Amino acid sequence: MKEKILKLIDSYEDIAIELETGLCKIPAISPDSDGYGEIDKCEFLESWLKAKGFGALERFDAPDERAKGKVRPNLIASINGADKTKPCFWIMSHIDIVPPGELSLWKNDPYKAYVYSGEDGKKRISGRGVEDNQQGLASSVLAAIALKQLGITPPRPVKLLFVSDEENGSGYGVDWLLKNRPHLFSPGESALIPDSGDAQGTAIEVAEKNIIWARFVTKGLQVHGSRPDLGKNAHLAGAELALRLHEGLTKKFSDKDNLFDLEYSTFEPTKKEANVPNINTIPGEDIFCMDMRFLPRYPVATVLAEIDRIISEVKTKYGVTIEYSTPQSMESKPTSPDAPLIKALSENIETVYGVKGKPVGIGGGTVAAYLRNVGIDAAVWCRITHTAHQPNECALLENILGDAKVMALMMLRES
């Protein structure tokens, strides 16, 4: 049976190009990035899936007054399992894309899929979104088509989830679904998110660092540059705060974990907002931001408590007020490298690609965190060339088909 599936998927190149081409024609850009949202692309995908025999389709629309149709759609295609009591296996991809950027850097229209052979002789398809995340989307669909065509019923229910808003925080995508349609998900289920990996197909992301993005506002007293004794230098206090947070948090939360690509936690000052426009004025307000990514063993609350302690000391030293907000604050529970999902994925990667999968942790955040936090084991994996967000984004056809084979085998797993 496995051999039939793999051989059949080898014949799906034209279907892959058809789906990628149709999706590529339709921009699905968030209103946060001056787009109209995902409704047109979702409706195309819905119609395309129906034409291919997918009957069990459900849409869950998150309200958004800014978007076309005033909604951000999320689509589920369900495949019945032989045992409905077994936990569901999800494959989740996203339908939104990022803007194409500077058009002069593109060799072709970014919204017209272009198929070509590279210098290595491998066939590629180019266009905005073809890799991020239409490669994973197409692979999941091809896997399901193969099972349907061969009349195979998977052991457990399988659901393909196509979400909105991944590129801008998932507030209208998986995060919205978990908060507003929680009945769709159950602890003990498992999920594959084909949205990151490496060129060999070995990297299986099972853990993410916890994240805090923080914006610090220091307020003192503005005075002439010649009389610092009459004021309270907000910039000086803010500068010391940035340095003390960087050094103090790095020292306090100093554990290392070689599961991660960068094995230690990072606490980095990043954006600096303008204060006074001239050199000879001591600023009464100063604003800077930090990007903090720390090992999952350190709870967000623990890091915030240390931030508060350091702030208190700086406030006392300089006589200023300091407030801060957290535009993003996220904890992510890891998936065990020994989880059945990870073991099965490793085995199927080796079957298809002849390489061994390796569990890894990353510093960036993905939608997997939302699922892990509600008790769903999640793996982020695909074989990918990493051209996402770049001009001339492209996907290898052999990766689309190869990943579809891995996904089809994952749909057949018993445990």
Active site residues: 96, 166
User: d(Cα 1, Cα 22) in Å, to the nearest integer?
Assistant: 31
Q: Are strands 57-63 and 71-79 parallel, antiparallel or unpaired?
A: antiparallel
Q: Which two tokens stand for residue 399?
A: 């990766």
Tokens 């070689």, located at residue:
258
For residue 95, count CB atoms less than 10 angstroms from its CB and return exposed for 0-12, middle for 13-18, buried for 19 or more: buried
Helix axes 13-24, 134-149, angle to 10 degrees: 140
Q: Which two tokens stand for residue 293?
A: 């990514």
Q: How far is CA 195 from CA 5, 133, 167, 335, 388, in A?
A: 23, 6, 11, 17, 10
- Cα–Cα distance measured from residue 26 to residue 95, given in angstroms and rounded to the nearest whole number: 10
